[in-house]
Amino acid sequence: MNPLTVSNVTLTFGGLHALTEVNLAIQPGLITSIIGPNGAGKTSLLNCISGFYHPTRGTIRYGEHNLTHASPHQVSSWGIARAFQNIELFGGLTVLDNLMLARHRKLRYSFWHAVIYKGKASQLEAENRARVEDVIDFMELEPYRKQPVGNLSYGVQKRIEVARALTLAPDLLLLDEPMAGMNIEEKEDMVRFVIDIQKERHTTVVLVEHDLGVVMDISDQIYVLDFGEVIGAGRPEEVARDPKVVEAYIGEE
């Protein structure tokens, strides 16, 4: 696993600064949370890391890889996967088909291999199916595997969104508000899955989340954004006592 380093990243849209001189050091194997009020720049930062946005200034590195101007496809090939805040699933396809589709970049065989469907093609298809079935079991999606995603509850769809990212076997997983809109029971399940992803799958997790109770319970380190700037960083207990963080959230010094 590699460290993720964000150095002096600034992102502007015209005259609007979405991010200003942001610095992060994400240590391998930990759960690192990025928190902040609405509009603080959290999703913009994930967009820069995952290649959907390119910073105006600054650099982003993941081990030996420079992510600063990389495409989402390149970022994915280097072991980084992302689950989106807004569900980006194919509602008319089954859970199994959605997860198999996520593995398409792993299917590296020719047109003729596909026509004959022997040797390399069948072997790769079997390997991808095994990976997907493992993720289905891990995320406890077996009861839904043959059901169209559009017929399932919002909480289950959020779980499938995380599962789809997991099918890529990432070393670094970016989770953008995976618990948003969930009830208490669904949220407890998702917390358990996030912890298991880190511990059992040895995956570095970067979590954007508004539920401070969850963040304080499961995070190894926390970064706090406000108006596109880092205003606090450290262990949960340190961040909770930071006057700037308290002021940003509840308006008091």
Please write the tens of the pLDDT for every residue from 74-100. Answer: 999 999 999 988 888 999 999 999 998
Is the predicted pLDDT of residue 44 greater than 80, yes or no?
A: yes
pTM of the predicted protein model: 0.89
Residues 63 and 178 in one domain: yes
User: 224 is in which domain, residue-wise?
Assistant: 1-79+171-253
Q: How confident is the model at residue 103 (pLDDT cuts 50, 70, 90)?
A: confident
Residue 160 and residue 57 share a domain: no
Considering the domain architecture, whether residues 3 and 74 belong to the same structural domain is answered as yes
Is the confidence at residue 124, as pLDDT, over 90?
no
Choose one of 106, 134, 169: the last residue of a domain.
169
Residues 242 and 175 in one domain: yes
- Domain stop point among 169, 196, 224: 169
Q: What is the pLDDT of residue 112?
A: 46
Q: pLDDT: is 150 or 115 the higher one?
A: 150
Mean pLDDT score of the chain? 89
Instruction: State residue 30's pLDDT score.
Output: 96
The contacts of residue 95 (CB under 8 Å, 6+ apart) are 136, 141, 144, 145, 146, 147, 149, 152, 160
Same domain? 156 vs 35: no
Last residue of a domain, one of 169, 187, 206: 169
Confidence tier at 49 by pLDDT (50, 70, 90): very high
176 and 74 belong to one structural domain: yes
Q: Specify whether 61 is located in the same domain as 181.
A: yes
User: Domains in the chain: how many in total?
Assistant: 2
Q: Rounded CA gap, 252 and 247, in Å?
A: 4
- In terms of domains, do 8 and 46 share one? yes
Read off the CATH number of the domain in which 229 is found.
Answer: 3.40.50.300
- 123, 180: one domain: no
158 and 215 part of one domain: no
**CA dist list (Å): 85 to 10, 33, 63, 229:** 22, 15, 26, 21
Q: Tell whether the model's pLDDT for residue 117 goes beyond 80.
A: no
Statement to judge: residues 198 and 220 lie in one domain: yes
Residues 107 and 217 in one domain: no
